[in-house]
Structures are given as C-alpha cells and as structure tokens.
C-alpha cells in the first residue's frame, strides 16, 4: 500500500464473554405470549428458589449457633452491685442475635404461607387437569425438606433458647413499658420453646386444603421414582428424596371436618395412590439419613408418629433382625481395603 494512503482499518480489541446460567428464571418475560403457564411456573420457581436460599442461610445460622449468654455475668440477687449495668450490656450484646431469631420466626411464617398458597393453587379443581412437571414436584419436595431441617435444628439447639431467654429477661426489666416489644418477645420465646412447631403449623395449614393429600401423593411418587431410578448424584440429593417421602407421609395423615363431617386421611387409604411396599424398602435401606452437617435423623420415625400407623404394613422397617444394606458395613470392608 502506498505510504500516502491513510490507514482506515480499526485497531483490534478483545471481547470478553461471560455466561451466567444461574439467572433464577429472570427471562420470564419471554414466555408471556405463547406459553402463559410456563411463565407462571417460572415465576413460582424463582420465588421458591429464593425461599430455599434463605432457608439454607437460616439453617447455617442455627447449625453454627453457639451460646453467648454463658460468657455473660449472671445476676445472683437484686442487691448485686452494677446490676442494671449488667442488664444493659446483656441487651447490647444479645440484641443483634435476638434480631436474627425474630427474623427467623418471620421467615418460617412467610415460607409456610407461600408453600400453602402454592399447594392450594395446585390442588384447586381448575388446576387438576394441568400436568405438574417433575422439576416442579422436586422443588416442592425441597421446600418440605427445608421445613424439616429448620424444625429439627431449632429443636436441637438449646443454646439458642437460653440466649433468647437471657435477652428477654433483661429487656423485661429495661423496656417493660414497650408493650409491642414485650408481645413480640413473648411470641418468639414461645416459638423457640415449642417442639415441632414448624411441622405442626404446616400440617394444620395444609389440612384446610381440599385434596392436598393427592398432591402430596404425587410428590411422594415422584421421589420414589427418582430414588429407584437413581436420578441423583450426591448423597444429599438421595437423602432429600427419602426425607421428602417420610415428611409427606407425616403431613398426609390427617383428620378434618368437611361439610359437618369428619374426613380422615390415613396411610391405608393412601395405599391406592402410593406403594407402601416400595417406601418400606426405601426406609429400610436408608434407616438413617444426614439432616444437616453432622446431624442425622431416622426417616421412618415420621411414619411412626402418625395416628394411623400400623406396624403390620411396614414389614421391612419393623424387622429388626434384618440388617439394612446401609448398616451392613462389614460386607464392604474388602472393597475399602
């Protein structure tokens, strides 16, 4: 090229492309025209996934909770010097942690409301003709697992209750004129003290939904199918399926009044919709599953809590002379070596 001809070619530059597949269904608008139901499902997925993320954060909070009130000085008598100063410091130190517990209570209330709302929508007669996808059922199952984890960990953590009791005692002396605070503090204290309050509240709310047990049966069958066909990768995913089956059976066993008549839903009545024998084998194979961290739970324990529990229907789980494949460690020793 002649030296007098100007160079009009632009200089090259690099283009950085970064993909993000974890969008949590932010492209919902793409489905609004032709796939209205897909858009609705995607919106629900996004909301439930957000609740699952928040639930995991609270599970981590509960799991890592360590007693702080044990390190604080205790009031031995009303004549103890610097008594009021100790109360002020106690409130100052425990206030951020008490706020976390208040937020935890509010979260589980809102999560139960959202889950029950979704179950009511899917159980409605106008929705029964629509197909509920496997991923949808799995997401609902994960919500059930979240409630189990939060409830069990709340029951196990005595240090958390002791910390809030110390905080409540100090605030009653310093802020007893604040009736709203005292009322909220009492509600949180009762929430922490009552065993199984999350699962029982969820069950009480679900019982008011006509046909909710049919949806639970679908969730159970989906989990059984995924377990039998090994549609999981990690042990956590496998244990989630087992816990979903167990907790769904616990929720399905109920009694309610409809049009002045008592309607009882028992496991024997659900036998037409689910396979008790398959579930029996699954519970025998996984007698103990990991709950969170180093905490474990027995899935079959939820079945035994049902009022309609009949041991004759669970021949595998009640046969204590037979060792489960999970517990027979000795047969795997050679492979480990």
The answer to whether position 142 is within a domain reads: yes
Tell me the pLDDT tens digit for each residue of 89-98.
888 888 899 9
Assess whether pLDDT exceeds 90 at residue 224: yes
Q: Are 255 and 288 in contact (CB under 8 A)?
A: no
Q: What are phi and psi of 289, to 5 degrees?
A: -125, 155
Looking at 156, 191, 210, the residue that finishes a domain is 210
**Shared domain check, 241 and 119:** no
**Shared domain check, 199 and 94:** yes
Share of the chain above pLDDT 70, in %: 76
Which of 29-33, 239-243, 282-286, 290-294 has the largest mean confidence? 239-243
Looking at 210, 238, 264, the residue that finishes a domain is 210
**Shared domain check, 240 and 287:** yes
CA distance 229 to 224: 9
**Shared domain check, 221 and 176:** no
**Shared domain check, 206 and 255:** no
**Shared domain check, 131 and 114:** yes
Domain of 292 in residue numbering reads as 213-310
Q: Are 309 and 269 in contact (CB under 8 A)?
A: no
CA distance 231 to 228: 8
Q: Are 242 and 152 in contact (CB under 8 A)?
A: no
Q: What share of the chain is helix, strand, coil (3-state, %, to 5)?
A: 60, 5, 35
User: DSSP letter at 237?
Assistant: H
The answer to whether position 105 is within a domain reads: yes
335 CB-near residues (< 8 Å, 6+ apart): none
Helices assigned H by DSSP within 4-68:
36-63
Question: pLDDT higher for 40 or 30?
Answer: 40
**Shared domain check, 189 and 168:** yes
**Shared domain check, 233 and 95:** no
CA distance 229 to 213: 24
The answer to whether position 16 is within a domain reads: no
Tokens for 289, please give them.
């599953």
Assess whether pLDDT exceeds 50 at residue 34: no
Cα-Cα-Cα-Cα dihedral sign, residues 214, 109, 298, 241: positive
Number of domains observed in the structure of the chain:
2
**Shared domain check, 258 and 205:** no
- Position 36 scores a pLDDT of 47
Tell me the pLDDT tens digit for each residue of 279-306.
989 988 888 888 888 888 888 899 888 8
**Shared domain check, 119 and 104:** yes
The answer to whether position 24 is within a domain reads: no
The answer to whether position 334 is within a domain reads: no
Looking at 194, 210, 226, the residue that finishes a domain is 210
Q: Are 119 and 206 in contact (CB under 8 A)?
A: yes
The neighbour count for residue 6, using CB atoms within 10 Å, is 5
- Position 329 scores a pLDDT of 64
The answer to whether position 259 is within a domain reads: yes
CA distance 247 to 322: 24
**Shared domain check, 159 and 230:** no
Between the CA atoms of 180, 181, 184 and 190, what dihedral angle is there, to the nearest 10 degrees?
-130
The answer to whether position 116 is within a domain reads: yes
Tell me the pLDDT tens digit for each residue of 52-73.
999 999 999 999 988 888 877 7
Assess whether pLDDT exceeds 70 at residue 126: no
Tokens for 248, please give them.
């769904």
The answer to whether position 195 is within a domain reads: yes
CA distance 230 to 232: 5
**Shared domain check, 86 and 137:** yes
- Position 149 scores a pLDDT of 93
132 CB-near residues (< 8 Å, 6+ apart): 122, 215, 218
Tokens for 263, please give them.
């309607």
């Amino acid at each position: 090229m002649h030296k007098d001809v100007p160079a009009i070619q632009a200089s090259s530059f690099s283009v950085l492309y970064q993909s993000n597949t974890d969008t949590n269904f932010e492209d919902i608008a793409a489905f609004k025209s032709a796939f209205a139901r897909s858009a609705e499902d995607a919106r629900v997925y996004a909301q439930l996934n957000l609740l699952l993320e928040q639930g995991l954060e609270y599970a981590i909070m509960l799991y890592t909770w360590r007693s702080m009130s044990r390190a604080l000085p205790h009031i031995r008598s009303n004549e103890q010097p610097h008594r009021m100063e100790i109360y002020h410091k106690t409130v100052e130190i425990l206030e951020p942690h008490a706020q976390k517990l208040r937020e935890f209570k509010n979260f589980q209330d809102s999560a139960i409301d959202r889950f029950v709302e979704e179950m009511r929508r899917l159980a409605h007669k106008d929705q029964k003709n629509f197909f509920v996808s496997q991923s949808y059922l799995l997401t609902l199952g994960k919500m059930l697992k979240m409630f189990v984890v939060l409830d069990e960990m709340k029951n196990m953590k005595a240090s958390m209750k002791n910390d809030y009791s110390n905080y409540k005692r100090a605030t009653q002396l310093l802020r007893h004129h604040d009736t709203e605070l005292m009322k909220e503090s009492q509600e949180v204290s009762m929430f922490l003290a009552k065993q199984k309050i999350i699962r029982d509240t969820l069950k009480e709310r679900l019982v008011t939904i006509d046909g909710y047990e049919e949806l639970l049966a679908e969730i159970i069958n989906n989990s059984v199918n995924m377990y039998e066909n090994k549609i999981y990768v990690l042990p956590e995913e496998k244990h989630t399926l087992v816990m979903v089956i167990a907790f769904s059976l616990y929720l399905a066993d109920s009694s309610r009044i409809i049009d002045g008549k008592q309607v009882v839903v028992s496991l024997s009545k659900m036998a037409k919709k689910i396979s008790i024998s398959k579930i029996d084998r699954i519970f025998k194979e996984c007698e103990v599953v990991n709950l969170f961290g180093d905490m474990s739970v027995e899935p079959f324990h939820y079945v035994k809590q049902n009022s309609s529990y009949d041991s004759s229907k669970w021949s595998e789980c009640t046969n204590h002379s037979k060792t489960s494949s999970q517990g027979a460690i000795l047969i795997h020793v050679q492979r480990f070596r």
